[in-house]
Structure 1
Amino acid sequence: MSCPICKGEAVTKYRPFCSKRCADIDLGRWMNGTYTVPSGREEDPEEIAEALDEMLRTSEANEAKKHHS
């Protein structure tokens, strides 16, 4: 099996990668959004707006509780 990053020979300890460096490069790509997994679901702008509104209301309610405690 070859390393998906550099195409070198994979090492058991870091499989499927050849080194910690290549494993870290791959992790970094996942974390910064270079890699994505499609959801198969269309985004509904209305649903997103409602979810954001709910998060804001919850956040504001939590802040109000902190100040009244």
Structure 2
Amino acid sequence: MTQADETPPPADPACPICGKPAAPAYKPFCSKRCADVDLQRWLSGRYAIPGREEDSLSQDEEPRDG
């Protein structure tokens, strides 16, 4: 057996909210509370993916009608 074979498997990642070990029922979170905190951050707009605003379209581009 080589030394590379003796390395322990990687540990489960910690809860992204509080850092405690993740619980299987709420993975990747440790509890329902932390899962709810994360959901509230998404719903309140604290986590946001930046996008292009309609006003920033160049003069060459015409708005698309659906």
Percent of paired sites with the same residue: 51
What CA deviation, in whole Å up to 9, does each residue of 1:4-60 have, x standing for no partner? 000000001000000000000000000000001223xx212288xxxxxxxxxxxxx
1:15 partner amino acid: K
Whole-angstrom CA distance in 1 between matches of 2:21 and 2:56:
48
- Alignment partner of 1:5 is 2:17: yes
- 1:28 counterpart SS class: helix
> Which 4+ stretches in 1 moved above 2 angstroms?
44-47
Give aligned pairs, total. Answer: 45
Give ranges in structure 2 of 5+ residues lacking alignment.
Answer: 1-12, 58-66
1:43 maps to 53
Whole-angstrom CA distance in 2 between matches of 1:6 and 1:34:
17
Whole-angstrom CA distance in 1 between matches of 2:49 and 2:55:
20
CA RMSD of aligned residues (A): 1.7
User: TM-score if structure 1 supplies the norm length?
Assistant: 0.58
